[in-house]
Structure 1
Amino acid sequence: MSPPIVVTRSIRLDPDELVETFMRASGPGGQNVNKVSTAVELRFDVAGSPSLPEAVRERLARLAGRRLTLDGVLILRADRHRTQERNRADALERLLELIREAAIPPPPPRRPTKPTWGSELRRLDGKKKRGTVKSLRNTRPDSD
């Protein structure tokens, strides 16, 4: 049995919850691309994971977007690097980042406040002064 993967202080993932499949990467790379299965597809069952609290599960599902299947499985594909090991580490790190971001609680809702009495007076005073300045611009000298 492998040691659990530490995501945050309170969240630890069992490595058995992760399913990795390897395939050939697309794009340039010469013969290496045609011969070696370096790309990694990492699958993590968000809906069925016992490691995630319910609130984190919901936020993770929202963050995952189109990478989440209808069954609640998160699929991450990594093929940036030339080696399988680096792609595996990249996919795992991206998964952990998503879970860490989902573990951050949302900010408390904003409570609307009224402006203070003093700030209202200052605002109205400023409006009066600007109005006075503008009205002085319109005065014409008396013509006799």
Structure 2
Amino acid sequence: MADPIVITRSVSIDPGEIEETFVRSAGPGGQNVNKVSSAVQLRFDLKNSPSIPEAMKRRAATLAGKRLTKSGVIVITANSHRDQPMNRADAQEKLVALLVEASHVPKYRVATRPTLASKRRRLEGKSIRSGIKRLRGTPSDGH
């Protein structure tokens, strides 16, 4: 049995949960590109994965965007290399990066309001500035 793929200290996925299919690549390869299936299409069933906590699944689903199917499967395609094993590793790295990003809990932002003193300071500064600008104008009493 293969070693589990480590996402975080507490979360790791079994390689058996990942399904890989090899398809013909549109990438580099010259005449060889029409004969060899070097591109990798990796499928990971996020919805039914026992390894990933529910909250992390929700964040991963949001991050996956178009790569997530309606049935909850993440589909990642890698075809940047001419070599099948390199494309496999690339696809796996993309999946791990997505899940690592989903493991970070976003910081809760507490809405704050300006204090009364800061409002007063701002308004005093504005009135001083408007006074300076008023003095730059033409004299009104016609000297």
Task: Please give the alpha-carbon distance, in whole angstroms, between the structure 1 residues aligned to 2:35 and 2:113.
Answer: 67
Say yes or no: does 1:9 pair with 2:25.
no
In the alignment, the residues of structure 1 paired with residue 92 and residue 27 of structure 2 have an alpha-carbon distance, to the nearest angstrom, of 22
Sequence identity of aligned pairs in percent? 53
TM-score (norm 2): 0.91
| 1:124 counterpart residue number | 123
Return the alpha-carbon distance in structure 2 between the equivalents of residues 28 and 128 of structure 1.
66
State whether residues 28 and 82 of structure 2, in contact with CA within 8 Å, keep that contact through their aligned partners in structure 1: no
* Partner residue in 2 for 1:58: 58
CA contact (8 A) 2:43 2:76 kept: yes
Name the aligned partner's letter for residue 84 of structure 1: Q
Correspondences of 1:88-99 after superposition (within 5 Å): 88-99=88-99
SS in 2 for 1:40: strand
One-letter amino acid of the structure 2 residue matched with residue 139 of structure 1: P
- Aligned residue pairs, count: 142
SS in 2 for 1:114: coil
Tell me the secondary structure at the aligned position of residue 97 of structure 2: helix
How far apart are residue 59 of structure 1 and its match? 0.8
Moved over 6 A (4+): none
How far apart are residue 28 of structure 1 and its match? 4.5
Structure 2 residue runs without a partner (length 5+): none
Normalization by structure 1: what TM-score?
Answer: 0.90
Q: Give me the whole-angstrom Cα distance separating, in 2, the residues matched to 1:114 and 1:31.
A: 65
Question: What residue in structure 1 maps to residue 23 of structure 2?
Answer: 23
- Structure 1 position 4, deviation (Å): 0.8
CA RMSD of aligned residues (A): 1.5
d(CA) in 2 for partners of 1:100, 1:61: 13
Deviation at 1:43, TM superposition (A): 0.4
